[in-house]
Structure 1
């Protein structure tokens, strides 16, 4: 998950001479793609701050869905805060922020990354409870349980940061400072810790959330089809979009990382470059998902859109005649489809 900044793969401690493998081409692609990180960071900060303002202005902060959304916003901002540092690192191919920041930046990166996955899963599970079971889960969907669930997610994310905190460090190579996972650490096998950590990540932060998301949305779709709501087709469409986007953006990155961990050491130089190209592209796809995912739980909903229009009119009164919205309907009772589907409640 860390950037590939080495210009060559030249270290081999056997007696057999090994031809140098220069990785300038795929690293150049990674450096060029990293310019997107600045846009992601700015876009994420603006949209998430907008979500916070709207929740504060028009909603109760203590509802279950808003507690989850606020934590998703926090984890998204934490994750995105590391991207400008990574962008600079990939563009100049040197770590200029010091040894302490090396550990801090990558720990923040993993904390935001892991917690975002779990908060998205919690939001999906909350939609499942609200829509499929509705009246029978009132006691389960309490503010206390929501706070406990969020605390558990932050605890799991914090524990997952121990590995990058231990493994990441700075080292000099040909006069250039790098920040990466170290292969040799006193008293432990760095390579084994890296590989075991990756498989824990694969199971806990990919397979488990993916299984929960698929099961929940499958039950939601079945429930929607049984209902007679006029908005069911819109609801199915948004569900389909969320799940497909998750697959497109999140699965390829993990598959390529799996290949990277398992086979890079035995690949030819040309194959290593191809794997490097693919890793850079799929990594950015995963980042884009976490950048835009809060939008699917907010801006897609009619209620949130009306709140947004109200905020625009409040800030810019002259827009009132140009914005066609059902602002007066935002205080009307909400249907089960609105509760279950992307909107601020």
Structure 2
């Protein structure tokens, strides 16, 4: 177990740093592209934009978690412990709720074709209310994380940790079990059931439709579900196992080595769950043809702005040189032309 602990201490910060880098770049590109080049936004576009914002909010906390992983001790203030754990919970709940909303929007657009125009226009007219409701719901679900998160010293090891801490008089194990059960139920099971139903109906409809693009659409949907399961399912299974073990620990049925294994599995699967914020731009945006075209527009415009700025600098520099040369001495036309085109 010591080798696993040392590996997590070494590779954990590296993995978190890579997630920070690629996740930040990818999600910023999503925000820029959807904001600048998606003139006629659908509800899916709006939900994806909110997902990217939620991921960016969480990504900015990763450097602190990387330090925590490397030091194996929380060296920051107690307020930051509460805030960062709450931000993670908000990101988790908000992302899963938005994923469910994306599934519902695609279900309405593809399966409920006759009603899609009216329902989607109604949703677009209340898009601000829908997104605000998702954020408020995610924040309310995460408020208990903020209340009970705390940085405190473990007496056995002397290390300061950033973990939930419940009042002893409220039966700590029961509270932990209740919190984890709510997190799994609302943050994973409900969105997963909604996604499973919506995408199953979508796949059935696309298979029946005579459309040459249906295989590509099915491939995108299957990729969405598979990546969701790969990243989130192991972490939620470990969370459920951890919740059960807390009750068994209270009954003295578990040994310390077994509890340590569960804790290490929790840390490893959490890294995998963190990685999902990198995949969202790839799965929901980069895989789309329109988004790729808009990304190329962003790159071209950035290059154009840079070239235009350089051209203006060189042009002004050339004009200044020409003005100075006329005041001092004669300069041949070929020299002036060559300096302009460099």
Q: Same fold (TM over 0.5)?
A: yes
Residues 1:196 and 1:149: Cα distance change in structure 2 (over 3 Å): same
Contact kept, 8 Å, 2:107 with 2:199, in 1: the verdict is: yes
Shift of 1:26: 4.0
After TM superposition, the structure 1 = structure 2 runs for residues 162-311 of structure 1, keeping only pairs within 5 Å, are 162-173=143-154, 176-184=159-167, 188-263=170-245, 265=249, 266-311=253-298
1:134 equivalent to 2:113? Answer yes
Unaligned runs of 5+ in 2: 305-342
Distance 1:207 1:65 in 2: 21
d(CA) in 1 for partners of 2:45, 2:26:
16
3-state secondary structure, aligned to 1:140: helix
Structure-1 separation of matches of 2:152 and 2:273? 28
- Provide the rounded CA distance (Å) in 2 between the counterparts of 1:188 and 1:260: 19
Q: Distance in 2 between matches of 1:29 and 1:213?
A: 35
Distance 2:49 2:161 in 1: 35
Distance 1:144 1:189, change over 3 A: farther
Structure with a larger share of its residues in helix: 2
* TM-score, normalisation: structure 2: 0.80
Name which one, 1 or 2, has greater alpha-carbon Rg: 2
Question: What secondary structure sits across from 2:275 in the alignment?
Answer: helix
1:29 corresponds in structure 2 to: 7
| CA–CA separation in structure 2 for the residues paired with 1:268 and 1:193 | 21
Number of residues paired by the alignment? 295
Partner deviation per Cα, 1:183-237 (whole Å, 9 max, x = no partner): 436x644332221011111111111111110111111111111111111111111
Classify the secondary structure of the residue corresponding to 1:51: helix
2:18 aligns with 39
List per-residue Cα deviations over 1:11-49 (Å, max 9, x = no partner): xxxxxxxxxxxx754433332224211111121111111
**Residue pair 2:74, 2:162 contacting (<8 A) in 1 also:** yes
* 2: CA distance, partners of 1:145 / 1:27: 49
Pair 1:68 & 2:68 matched? no
Question: TM-score normalised to the size of structure 1?
Answer: 0.79
Please show how residues 78-117 of structure 1 align to structure 2 within 5 Å: 78-117=57-96
* Displacement after TM superposition at 1:253 (Å): 1.1
- Give unmatched runs, 5+ long, in structure 1: 1-22, 318-345
Q: Give the root-mean-square deviation of aligned CA atoms.
A: 2.2
